[in-house]
Amino acid sequence: MSCHPPGRWPPTPRAGCTHRSASSSPGATPWFGWLIPPLVLLQLGFTTASTLNFDISGYPASLWWPWSILGLLIIVAAGYFGVRTSARLGTILGVFEIAVFLIMGILLVIHAGSHNTLSCSPPSTPRPASTA
């Protein structure tokens, strides 16, 4: 099954289709469309549950599946509402990611306090010449 109607150039995007399906051989496309997303969703579930288990005592590490299902619902909703919605969601998540890194960087600089310097490493002292 092709993501693009036959005889149409340039191909128009459809929900659930990626540039990978148009650029790869037909045998490679299922690997990207059917194998990678479930693995990413499993990783999302395991990572989120493990992090919550570490940060919140009493949260069971085995409770990973709600996070995988939430990720799946977000992906399905983005695909259902179309390319524009997916692009907006990607932009919002990108801005959120940049904000998190910016806030973390500022907090680390503040936390270091007077230990912040412009030098990368302290100057080293020359080694004494060895006598042979």
Residues 67-120 pLDDT 10s: 999 999 998 888 889 889 889 999 999 999 999 999 999 998 898 888 777 666
Distances in Å between the alpha carbon of 9 and those of 2, 22, 23?
Answer: 13, 12, 14
Query: Residue 123, class by beta-carbon neighbours within 10 Å (0-12 exposed, 13-18 middle, 19+ buried)?
Result: exposed
**Which range of residues forms the domain containing residue 68?**
19-110
Q: Is residue 124 part of a domain?
A: no
The Cα 35–Cα 53 span in angstroms is 27
Q: How many domains are contained in the chain? A: 1
Q: Is residue 131 part of a domain?
A: no
Q: Which amino acid is located at 42 in the chain?
A: L
The two structure tokens encoding residue 1: 């099954």
pLDDT band at 59 (very low <50, low <70, confident <90, very high): very high
Q: Is residue 123 part of a domain?
A: no
Q: Is residue 3 part of a domain?
A: no
Q: Is residue 35 part of a domain?
A: yes
Whole-model pTM: value is: 0.56
Q: Is residue 130 part of a domain?
A: no
